[in-house]
Amino acid sequence: MISHPDLSIEQLQEGKISGFETQIEIKKTTCAICSANCGIDASVKDGVVIKVEGTAENPANKGTLCSKGAANRQYIYHEDRIRTPLLKRGGKNSTEFEPISWDQALDIISSRMLEIKDQSGPESVVFFSGFPKRLRPFLKRLAHGFGSPNYCTESSTCFYATLIANKLNYGCAGEADIQNSECLLVWSTNPFHSATADVSNLLDAIDTGLKIIEVGPLITPLSSHADIHLRIRPGTSGALALGMAHVIIEEGLYDSDFVNHWTVGFDEYRKYTKQFTPSATEEITSVPAASIIQAARLYASSKTSSLMSGASPTVHHTNGVQNHRAITALIGLTGNFDRKGGNRVIPSSHYGFNTRQDEFEQSKPWSEMAPRIAQEVLPVWSELVEQAQAIPLPAQIHSGKPYPIRAMLAFGLNYRMWPGSDNMKESLKKLDFLVDIDLFLTDSAKLADLVLPACTSFEKNDLRVWSPNYAIWTEPVIKPVGESRSDINIIIDLADKLGLDDPLLKQGQEACLDWIIKPSGFTISDLKAAPGGMFLPEIETPFFQYKEKGFPTPSGKMEFCSSILKKAGYDALPKYVEPKHSPVSAPEMALDYPLILNTGSRLPMFMHSRTFRLPWTRALRHDPMADINPIDGERRDIKTGDTIKLSTHRSSITVKAHITQRVPPGVVAMFHAYPEADVNLLIEPDYCDPISGYPGFKSLLCEVTKIMDD
């Protein structure tokens, strides 16, 4: 059949148009460069992806792709892709590898892991997942089956600290019900850069009258749509939230019915907020008092208001959990918890609906395993998060206390994720056995004794569900590059080699997923019938669930004063303390390092460490650049493009200057994970929040100086 009679074969080929004439076939898959997992139409010819486009019928990305997604072919076929298992030759410091077979590799891994388990206990082996998400339930099950409590992930810097804050306040988290809201308080998240697929819905809601209050030091694409933008000094969110609460309480704008019936600790909280007058709050946060009052009134007196915050910017501070508690306390204070147009409670899992994921992954109770890494020093983390905290991992590797950590099986390890990344790198060299499974031979993979090749989303099966009810099961659209394999299949094969008697894992990925999603009422077979994805029956989640069941906190109510924090010896109220290193808390240090360093605010073309190597995305911002306000640039005679030294009291890196109003005066912003200018070298390994263990990536002290060309 001729599909395009008006075009010549040359034209069809040049346009990479699918059809009989060109032998180009469109196959459905997803992009896994970030967690949005946009639907992709991959044009495949002779087993090679020759073009990628967004899937039009996918309700999440609606046919669009971002700059990173458009560069997927450079990602899949990059020369750094690992093509076979690799065994290190010539000792720890060597970077020479020899290709070996999968059988040899899995034999070596299982025998070394079992030997170390025998000698030092299963807890001495760590199971780690970096940014990759979908393998996690399988990896945790493998860790617990092996007997190790030390399954940990990149979530040691992402999302869980906000979850902890929400659990302390409410026992659970509530998502912004934007479509039904009159006012949206966007507290430090920039979806235009970090979640591009979500932006069209947000813009639609703004078009139909949604009021926006944006909180954040940086100017973002949202700022031009915002009714109010509070350009806060980094690390002072807690004070701003308490200041808004002060206005709301003093002006009687709070929901007294909710507060009286459903909260504990309100009197202490009310008393505490008294000191956060608008002018005192301005003094701390740099936000004008009048704007604080205006924002508090708009948020509290709109008929419905919701709060949207990011997974990390409010908690990448040494005072992060308490800051985030203060922010989300505003939801309860104004009666916007679990109501239409407020913040609603929806089932949480990697799959977006009710599943048996928890049962699947926690295959052994904590009481039957050794304590997790840093369990004693982070009791609240250990009580509220069902995995180990990875940030203190290098400290335990170095000290061997309370027990030695000797081996690590890591999927997607990037030592530049850790504050004091050189310290993490050194600790990895001390391990007796390190395995890294990655797509690319990264600087971290080069430290491993054995490296295994993982494959991309284009080369494997995957289950993905977009909230609230669109799901896809993908088949591989091309053969795996080289001998690479899917992470989940690697885990399943390893479980077998390790002799784990796990009847579920033995049945393979599909059977495991079917077991996990059983409560949803659909199966993988159902999804196979719809290659581009399908709508599932929408689950009605009722509002005001707490009125039936109470809050899942120790008191059964929302806790302005947290009983869990009190028991663990922390402040029960969401008390504001300065970041450990700020111009206020460390004036001596600020003499030499007067600027505030804010690291890792997202740039649209970079995804942590992953897309620097892609020519298209790298070309959009070739050099590592620090954003500096014109006032600070002028004072130091620094112009855009100048080579500068960005320093903290710990270390310094060389970058280019980018003079921009995007950052307020006194603040320097720098993206993280650049291989040649790693900003995490500038941060102390223990510069962390005492409750969550999260690093203070977004508020510390620095200086920039021009490097004179010879």
Ligand X SMILES: Nc1nc2c(c(=O)[nH]1)N[C@H]1C(S)=C(S)[C@@H](COP(=O)(O)OP(=O)(O)OC[C@H]3O[C@@H](n4cnc5c(=O)[nH]c(N)nc54)[C@H](O)[C@@H]3O)O[C@H]1N2
CB neighbour list of residue 190: distance below 8 Å, 6 or more residues apart: 216, 218, 220, 221, 222, 310, 601, 602
Question: Binding mask 138-177 vs ligand SF4 (x if CB under 6 A, - otherwise)?
Answer: ----------------------------------------
Question: Binding mask 292-331 vs Mo ion (x if CB under 5 A, - otherwise)?
Answer: --------------------x-------------------
Q: Which residues of 445-482 are buried (b: 16+ CB within 10 A; e: fewer)?
A: bebbbbbbbbbbbbbbbbbbbbeebbbbbbebbbebbe
Is-cis flag, bond preceding 468, omega within 30?
A: yes
Nearest CA to 41 out of 595, 693, 531, 637 is that of 531
Q: Residues binding ligand X: what is the number (CB under 6 A)?
A: 58
Identify residues 245-274 at the interface with ligand X (CB under 6 A). Answer: none
Identify residues 383-422 at the interface with Mo ion (CB under 5 A). Answer: none
Nearest CA to 680 out of 697, 692, 693 is that of 697
The reply on whether position 420 binds ligand X by CB under 6 A is no
The reply on whether position 33 binds ligand SF4 by CB under 6 A is yes
Task: Give, as one character, the DSSP assignment of residue 196.
Answer: G
Distance CA 412, CA 448 (A): 12
For residue 284, the surrounding DSSP H or E stretch is helix 278-285
Q: Cβ 16 to Mo ion, closest distance in Å?
A: 34
The reply on whether position 215 binds ligand X by CB under 6 A is yes
CB neighbour list of residue 334: distance below 8 Å, 6 or more residues apart: 248, 253, 254, 255, 299, 300, 305
- Report whether 649 contacts 638 (CB < 8 A): no
Identify residues 193-222 at the interface with ligand SF4 (CB under 6 A). Answer: 196-197
Q: Cβ 623 to ligand X, closest distance in Å?
A: 18
Question: Which listed option, ligand SF4, Mo ion, ligand X, none, makes contact with residue 141 (CB within 5 to 8 Å by class)?
Answer: none
Question: Which listed option, Mo ion, ligand SF4, ligand X, none, makes contact with residue 234 (CB within 5 to 8 Å by class)?
Answer: ligand X
Both tokens assigned to 279: 């002018």
Residue with tokens 């992930």: 153
User: Which residues make beta-bridge pairs with 468?
Assistant: none
Question: Which listed option, ligand X, ligand SF4, Mo ion, none, makes contact with residue 128 (CB within 5 to 8 Å by class)?
Answer: none
Distance CA 358, CA 386 (A): 9
Question: Which listed option, Mo ion, ligand SF4, ligand X, none, makes contact with residue 574 (CB within 5 to 8 Å by class)?
Answer: none
Q: Cβ 184 to ligand SF4, closest distance in Å?
A: 21
CA atoms within a 13 Å half-sphere pointing along the CA-CB vector of 172? 20
Both tokens assigned to 25: 């076939």
Residue 559's alpha-carbon distances to 274, 305, 315, 330, 342, in angstroms, are: 18, 20, 19, 12, 18
- Which region among 76-84, 340-348, 384-392, 408-416 touches ligand X (by CB under 6 A)? 408-416
| Selected binder of ligand SF4 within 66, 183, 451, 454 (CB under 6 A) | 66
Q: Residues binding ligand SF4: what is the number (CB under 6 A)?
A: 13
| Selected binder of ligand SF4 within 18, 22, 29, 37 (CB under 6 A) | 37
Side chain identity, residue 609: S
DSSP letter for each residue of 648-672: -SS-EEEEEEEE-TTSPTTEEEE-S
Q: Cβ 334 to ligand SF4, closest distance in Å?
A: 32
Q: Cβ 394 to ligand X, closest distance in Å?
A: 14
Of 165 and 572, the one with the shorter C-beta distance to ligand X is 165
The reply on whether position 158 binds Mo ion by CB under 5 A is yes
Distance CA 195, CA 1 (A): 41
Distance CA 556, CA 550 (A): 5
Question: Which listed option, Mo ion, ligand X, ligand SF4, none, makes contact with residue 38 (CB within 5 to 8 Å by class)?
Answer: ligand SF4
The reply on whether position 128 binds ligand X by CB under 6 A is no
Distance CA 540, CA 581 (A): 47
Question: Binding mask 129-168 vs ligand X (x if CB under 6 A, - otherwise)?
Answer: -xxx---------------------x--xx----------
Q: Cβ 137 to ligand X, closest distance in Å?
A: 14
| Selected binder of ligand SF4 within 43, 44, 55, 69 (CB under 6 A) | 69
Question: Which listed option, Mo ion, ligand X, ligand SF4, none, makes contact with residue 132 (CB within 5 to 8 Å by class)?
Answer: ligand X
Both tokens assigned to 598: 């804010």
The reply on whether position 85 binds ligand X by CB under 6 A is no
Question: Which listed option, Mo ion, ligand X, ligand SF4, none, makes contact with residue 625 (CB within 5 to 8 Å by class)?
Answer: none
| Selected binder of ligand X within 144, 193, 325, 372 (CB under 6 A) | 193
Question: Binding mask 31-70 vs ligand X (x if CB under 6 A, - otherwise)?
Answer: -x-x------------------------------------
The reply on whether position 216 binds ligand X by CB under 6 A is yes
The reply on whether position 220 binds ligand X by CB under 6 A is yes
Backbone φ and ψ of 428, nearest 5°: -65, -35
- Report whether 318 contacts 195 (CB < 8 A): no
The reply on whether position 387 binds ligand SF4 by CB under 6 A is no
CA atoms within a 13 Å half-sphere pointing along the CA-CB vector of 546? 25
3-class secondary structure for 121-156? Answer: CHHHEEEEECCCCCCHHHHHHHHHHHCCCCEEEHHH
Residue nearest to Mo ion (CB): 158
Q: At what angle do helices 237-250 and 266-273 cross, to 10 degrees?
A: 100
Identify residues 264-303 at the interface with ligand SF4 (CB under 6 A). Answer: none
Distance CA 281, CA 83 (A): 56
Question: Binding mask 305-334 vs ligand X (x if CB under 6 A, - otherwise)?
Answer: -----xxxxx-x------------------
Q: Cβ 628 to ligand X, closest distance in Å?
A: 16
Interface positions with Mo ion (CB under 5 A): 158, 312
Interface positions with ligand SF4 (CB under 6 A): 31, 33-34, 36-38, 61, 65-66, 68-69, 196-197
Interface positions with ligand X (CB under 6 A): 32, 34, 130-132, 154, 157-158, 188-190, 193-195, 215-218, 220, 232, 234-235, 237, 310-314, 316, 411-412, 414, 417, 437-440, 442, 454, 487, 598-602, 604, 606-610, 672-673, 679-680, 697-699
